[in-house]
Structure 1
Amino acid sequence: MQDARDTFYAMLRDRIAAGNPARTVVVRGATRPGVVVVENELPAASVDGLSLTDVFCLRWTALRVEAGALPLAAMTCEVRYGTDGTTGAAGMDRGRALAAMDAELAFALQTEPQSAPKLSFVTGVVRGTNVFWSDPLFGPVATHGERLERVATVEVYSYQEAGEL
């Protein structure tokens, strides 16, 4: 299942970076595309989706596995993001900034193909199956102080191969 999670993250990171190269985040001194996986970061990095703004924070929240010769794993990915708007507009553009993030996420997840060859990031080997996902389900906008936030969920599916993490 870890290979599927890593593959999904890499796909989303690359599509977001291609769609908006300016969306970046600095974590532990390194600038990278503005997509992070909460479980992959050190707790001190403060990437819980509440402290970072203008970044997509992924959290894996549910797992179901259908038994069979090739078990099918269904994982729920929560994508949390928010914005304070820009300083140049004194935050008065935060609605537009959140709408832009909504559009970036929708485009990245709904662009064909809605699948990617599964890759083991430990060995660098392409697996024999794909990772595929649903369209995002966008939750309501929440306001926390001056920040607008949203959580979108995506169902991610993958067949479990022999020897896979």
Structure 2
Amino acid sequence: MTTFQDAKDSFYLLLRNGLATLNPDRTIVVRGATRPAVLVAENELPSGSAEQPLNAFVLHWGAVAVDGSEAMPLESARCTIQVQTSGSPEVAGMDRGRTMAAMRAELQSLLAAGSAAKASYAGASATAAATPVFWSGVVAEDLKETADTLNAAYSVDVFAWREP
């Protein structure tokens, strides 16, 4: 039986791999490894810092809801994607708005398809599922400004059929 974890993993990998293709320069260093700037908050080790990484997409998952009215229950959860930027040091952060706009455009591009293949990553290799993972449009939740950063949150409702 596939679980909603498979949908979450598939959604994350779509974003991570898509960002690596769309903007290979948008990377982040996590525990000494450089990788595409997409993180799942629940999967990261505590860093000792309460600060969110800059210029990265940080995914936060809400509770899973189940609609069991059909033969294959439909599961869903809201994914909140947080973004924080202080702009470029070369221009003393005066491009924060442009950086935030570029990241918003990247996110919308990455999610434009509306669905993707779903797979289970629980074993040594990925196992394809029979049904896809799909999602709603991106909704901008808020944009906050501090002295040094712009912070935005976007939400996407993610859906997947629970397979036998």
5+ unaligned residues in a row in structure 2: which ranges? Answer: none
Aligned to 2:57: 56
CA shift digits 1:120-143 (9 cap, x unpaired) = 111321011100011100123101
Distance 1:104 1:45 in 2: 29
Counterpart check, 1:104 vs 2:102: no
One-letter code of the match for 2:152? R
Letter in 1 for 2:76: A
Distance, in Å, in 1 between the alignment partners of 2:138 and 2:105 is: 11
SS of the aligned residue for 2:53 comes to coil
Identity rate, percent:
42
Task: Return the alpha-carbon distance in structure 1 between the equivalents of residues 147 and 38 of structure 2.
Answer: 23
User: Is 2:35 aligned against 1:32?
Assistant: yes
User: Which residue in the other structure is 2:127 paired with?
Assistant: 125
Count of aligned pairs between the two proteins: 158
Pair 90,148 (structure 1): closer, same or farther in 2 beyond 3 Å: same
Are residues 118 and 7 of structure 1, via their aligned partners in 2, closer, same or farther at CA, if it must alter by over 3 Å? same
Instruction: Measure the CA separation in 1 of the matches of 2:122 and 2:74.
Output: 21
Tell me: CA distance 1:31–1:60, structure 2 relative to 1, closer, same or farther (3 Å). Answer: same
- Indicate conservation of the 8 Å contact 2:6/2:119, yes or no: yes
**5+ long unaligned stretches in structure 1:** none
Give the superposition deviation at 1:2: 0.4
Measured in 2, the distance between the counterparts of 1:135 and 1:96 equals 22
When the two chains are superposed, the root-mean-square deviation of aligned CA atoms in Å is: 1.3
1:161 corresponding residue in structure 2: 163
Match of 1:11 among 4, 9, 14: 14
Q: How far, CA to CA, are the matches of 2:92 and 2:72 in structure 1?
A: 53
Displacement, 1:65?
Answer: 0.6
> TM (normalized to structure 1)?
0.91
**Which residue in the other structure is 1:94 paired with?**
96
**Alpha-carbon deviation of 1:144?**
2.6
Q: Which residue of 1 aligns with 2:139?
A: 137
The answer to whether the 8 Å contact 1:119/1:127 transfers is yes
Q: Which amino acid aligns with 1:100?
A: A
* Matched residue type, 1:83: T
TM-score (norm 2): 0.91
| CA-CA distance at 1:18 after TM superposition | 1.2
Q: Answer whether contact 1:28 1:45 (CA < 8 A) is retained.
A: no
2:143 and 2:81 mapped to 1: Cα distance? Answer: 13
